[in-house]
Amino acid sequence: MTHMLVLMALFCLSCATAHPPVYTPAIAERQVPSNTYLRGFQQASDLFPRTLIQDRCSDKQKETLRTAWKGAKKLAEAQTSTVTGYDYDAVHRAWFGDDWNVKGDPEVERRTQIITDNMARLTKLFRGEVGDHDNFVFWCEDKYGNCEGEAWAASFEHTLEHGALYQSTVFCPEFFEEEDVLEEDVEMFGGHPDDETRIDHFQDTTAVTMLHEIYHYQFVVSDNPTLDIAEYGAGFDYQLAREKGTEETYLNANSYAMDALVIYLQQTFQSSTPALPPGY
Task: Please write the tens of the pLDDT for every residue from 203-258.
Answer: 999 999 999 999 999 999 998 889 999 778 899 999 999 999 999 999 999 999 99
Tens-digit pLDDT profile for residues 129-182:
999 999 999 999 998 899 988 899 999 988 876 778 999 999 999 999 999 999
Residue type, 242: R
Class of domain 15-269: alpha beta
pTM over 0.85: yes
Other beta carbons within 10 angstroms of residue 133's beta carbon come to 14
Domain boundaries, the chain: 15-269
Q: Are 226 and 15 in contact, with CB atoms under 8 Å apart?
A: yes
B/e letters for 4-17, b = 16+ CB within 10 Å, e = fewer, are eebebeeebbbbbb
- Using alpha carbons only, give the angle 125, 65, 234 rounded to the nearest 5 degrees: 75
